[in-house]
A and B are shown apart, each in its own frame.
Chain A
Amino acid sequence: MSNVGIVIVSHSPLVAEGTADMVRQMVGDEVPLAWCGGNGHGGLGTNVEAIMGAIDQAWSEAGVAILVDLGGAETNSEMAVEMIGEPRAHKIVVCNAPIVEGAVMAATEASGGASLKEVVATAHELSPS
């Protein structure tokens, strides 16, 4: 698929899955989408390995935008991008946006064939600068 992919990373698998459900219902299947949540041991948290897996799952040559909730999700997502390394790393952006609204808006933009830069800009518009 040539549209930008969306990855949702929450501390809670329920939040991540629920956000993905909303994206699917509102945007449809035109956008590669993956989610992950939880610390990998049954608790709340985020997990670098799971994030790397979600990026693989939503991978698009057009790039991938990651939406995160709290700080640890951002730190772990940035770590995952670094561990994936080039040449793919520069096509992956961790967005500064509220996770639910950001995911829906970014996916809506992506479904129209927008570039990674445009998708990320749409998500960032939701955050006070």
Chain B
Amino acid sequence: MTALNLARLVAAAADAIAAHADELTALDQAIGDGDHGLNMKRGFEAVRAEADLFAAKPLPEALKAIGTKLVMTVGGASGPLFGTLFMALGKEISADPDRAGLTAAFGKAIGAVAARGKSQVGQKTMLDVLQPVHRALAEGKTAAEIADIADIAAKATVPMKALRGRASFLGDRSIGHMDAGARSTALLVRTVAETIGEVA
């Protein structure tokens, strides 16, 4: 990961979110409050606008700053959840992490997201993508495999019943729809995997 180009990564993430904003909104309209696509787009465009600023920082500080920016700009419940993911990752990661270091930091960041959302795996949330991705990282899967695992995990939220967030108000009626946060998480995972390629 020595040649990690954070500015490029940020731009790719913002592109991916922007390209799928309508899809994310449609997913959220089905079982949430319908603002996920717009919120995520606003947040990632704000991060893109300061990409050079973030890229100039060491990786831990850059991730913390990106997380803070997301908290302040995404809004909804997604702001604190995605923001916490990046902030916690920044707190746990080293400036030049290897695969083991990234895996350990990612695991702790997932724990922070679970605590923030008072949620756990199996409740139809972004955690249902993050956890399989963490396992894939730990098992030494390739970047391409990890991107596919994230997509499959997002799709696997379709038959789940939501137990957290606005969708949980719908109870059984939340079954049959993909969770918007799981979808956006899978998009980000694929973007990171395809942009930085194989992790050391």
Task: Please give the residue numbers on chain A whose beta carbons come within 8 Å of chain B beta carbons, in ascending order.
Answer: 39-41, 43-49, 70-72, 75-76, 78-79, 83
Contacts and interface: CB of A to CB of B under 8 A. Distances in A.
A46 B75 contact: yes
Given A41-B42, A83-B71, A48 B166 contact: no
A79 B75 contact: no
Given A43-B35, A70-B166, A79 B84 contact: yes
Interface of B: 33, 35, 39, 42, 68, 71-72, 75-77, 79-81, 83-84, 116-117, 164-166
Chain B interface, >50% SS class: helix
Contacts of B166: 70-72
Contacts, number: 46
Contact of B77 (A40, A44, A49, A71): A71
Contacts of A43: 35
A40 B71 contact: no
Contacts of A41: 42, 75
Given A70-B166, A71-B166, A76 B116 contact: no
- Which of A41, A75, A78 has most B Cβ within 10 Å? A75
